[in-house]
Structure 1
């Protein structure tokens, strides 16, 4: 699995269902998928997978995408891939199914008095709410 030219990934964009992609396993291509410098995190110790996101997504104001367990929110596009040693590699069928199910539904992030609350939704609901938020922001200006 190591040194694959193209790797099978699960690509997740805000407001959309995850999708299978095959990406060139090279820095520039992978950075383009997340829109900048990459950060690899390994939140699932039982599985040889990495979550690759934009290193400064929140600071840059990228749209919030998915909650990561109970401790973080990923901003902007991200993807899940396998890793072997220090190399990224393709997801297995089992890994792909597991993480596609985990991130299947888009999430809206609603401000509350105790912090941000994630709410699962459909892509159509996400699009409609984002349009409403953008219209309200334009009216405030």
Structure 2
């Protein structure tokens, strides 16, 4: 890997995260997230999330949780950050964030908002095909 490339964790809706080596350029970052970028630094370990800055406005699919009450929409990547520049993730950082974002999530619509639920990529695809509805058999309580 050259100094003009960085190692990132790329996270797409409905898929397991993957390692990517990308050019360390604005255009490469924008291409990966599908638009203008926004950087979020919610942790203290010099790591940031790079996502599409209008993902929710553009109604990109919900992807993963961001904190306890918010979510990231559309594809994003996790990379290191040093003095405002993107840098490669260390092996330890990569393993930590791959574990954190490993499972795809479906967001179930409820009267109170979206309810996140871990799933497999196959379950995610089925959920999307079935119009965001879970196929759950009702519980049989017997005769009353």
TM-score (norm 2): 0.88
| 1:22-50, Cα deviation, whole Å (9 max, x unpaired) | 000000011000000000000112x1101
Partner of 2:37: 38
Runs of 4+ that moved beyond 6 A? none
Q: Choose 1 or 2 for highest CA Rg.
A: 2
Give the unaligned 5+ runs of structure 2. Answer: 133-144
Question: Which stretch of the first structure deviates more once superposed, 52-61 or 63-72?
Answer: 63-72
Q: Aligned residue for 2:108? A: 110
Work out the number of aligned pairs and report it: 132
Residue among 123, 126, 130 paired with 1:125: 123
Q: Does structure 2 conserve the Cα–Cα contact (< 8 Å) formed by 1:4 and 1:89?
A: no
Check conservation: 1:50, 1:80, Cα contact below 8 A: yes
**Higher mean C-alpha displacement, 64-73 vs 7-16:** 64-73
Q: Name the CA distance, whole Å, in 2 between partners of 1:67 and 1:4.
A: 31
Matches of 2:112 and 2:54, distance apart in 1: 24
Question: Partner of 1:133: helix, strand, or coil?
Answer: coil
Partner of 1:137: none
Map 1:12-91; keep pairs closer than 5 Å: 12-45=11-44, 47-91=45-89
Would you say the 8 A contact 1:17–1:106 is kept in 2? yes
Extract unaligned runs of 5+ from structure 1. Answer: 135-141
SS at match of 2:126: helix
